[in-house]
Amino acid sequence: MEKKNIDWAKLGFGYTKTDSRWQAEWKDGEWQEGGLIEDAEFHLPESACVFHYSQSCFEGLKAYTTKQGDIVTFRPDLNAERMANTCRRLAMPAYPQDEFVRAVVETVRANAAWVPPYGTGCSLYIRPVMIGSGPQIGVAPAPSYMFRVFVMPVGAYFKGAVKPLKLRVSEYDRAAPHGTGHIKAGLNYAMSLYATMEAHEEGYAENVYLDPATRTYIEETGGANIIFVDADNTVVVPKSPSILPSITRRSLVYVAEHYLGLKVVERQVALDELKGFKECALCGTAAVLAPVGQIDTKDGPIQFPSGMEKMGEISARLRETLTGIQMGEIEAPEGWIVKIA
């Protein structure tokens, strides 16, 4: 199969319209049989619930070309499970988890020509999305829903992602106590956009959000979880009920413990403690693992000893091992890699 003619070295993180997408509709109380379509638009009534009451959620995962030349994806079952949890919290009908994985596999296979080749540093980003598409004017869940999976080739999320990032502690909150911080609802991102734009204008790559109840503990950033390495090389992972359970972070925890023999502690991490850590990194499907060199707080900057020039040693080993597993260079734990073609 001939690949699309793309300059992989110049590819950023953005939308490209590819050939096929998967669509399924929920109506009359059940999911109808889904399938591949070519139309990249949604055709919706002005009264669609998503426009008014923001019934929308999504997922993000990637497909890769491995060293062996296979097209694979990474732990899609966990995205299926997380989307089902998100749907329950938003009073939306969960898409059956095995059908979710099938939709991902079929969509990637149908767009195989768009999957970046091994060694380019690029991947195929997979975006499952669900919206309340039926008419709804009274405040209530939609009477019908659309589930769609579409894909696009992407490069790095943070330009020069292996160069350490500068972040700031946000004065805004991302999540409310007992709210929706732990699910992948579109509404969580809508309310973070203003804070993100402000951070970018001030020269920061991202905002670090604090726990919304006490504003003393580290939560995560707008689009990635955050991890730390302490002086004893222990990987420290913030724990909170309002953090999105990142699949990358959960995988890195496993890699740290089972591949690198590191100790991992998941616990509340106070803002005051940051000075004691030697490395800090963001992790997520889009960011993979991106080092953080500095976090500005209202009491001044915190600079991590790993500095602004290069990634810390533990962060680099974590990143290399995870990407090695994804690219077929390192043997994966059972069930992590799903072969598509």
220: contact with ligand PLP by CB under 6 A: yes
E strand spans, the chain:
21-27, 30-31, 35-37, 56-58, 61-65, 71-74, 123-132, 145-154, 165-169, 206-210, 218-221, 225-229, 235-238, 264-267, 279-284, 288-297, 300-303, 337-339
User: Which residues have a Cβ under 8 Å from the Cβ of 146 and sit 6 or more positions away?
Assistant: 23, 24, 25, 26, 42, 130, 131, 133
116: contact with ligand PLP by CB under 6 A: no
Smallest distance, Å, CB 93 to ligand PLP?
A: 22
Please list every residue from 34 through 93 that binds ligand PLP, using CB under 6 A. 60
What is the 8-class DSSP label of residue 156? -
212: contact with ligand PLP by CB under 6 A: no
123: contact with ligand PLP by CB under 6 A: no
Smallest distance, Å, CB 188 to ligand PLP?
A: 7
225: contact with ligand PLP by CB under 6 A: yes
d(C-alpha 278, C-alpha 330), whole Å: 27
Please list every residue from 250 through 269 that binds ligand PLP, using CB under 6 A. none
155: contact with ligand PLP by CB under 6 A: no
Active site residue 4: no
CB-nearer residue toward ligand PLP: 224 or 253: 224
d(C-alpha 101, C-alpha 297), whole Å: 41
124: contact with ligand PLP by CB under 6 A: no
Stretch that binds ligand PLP, among 109-117, 199-207, 241-249, 325-333 (CB under 6 A): 241-249
Interface with ligand PLP (CB under 6 A), residue from 107, 144, 170, 248: 248
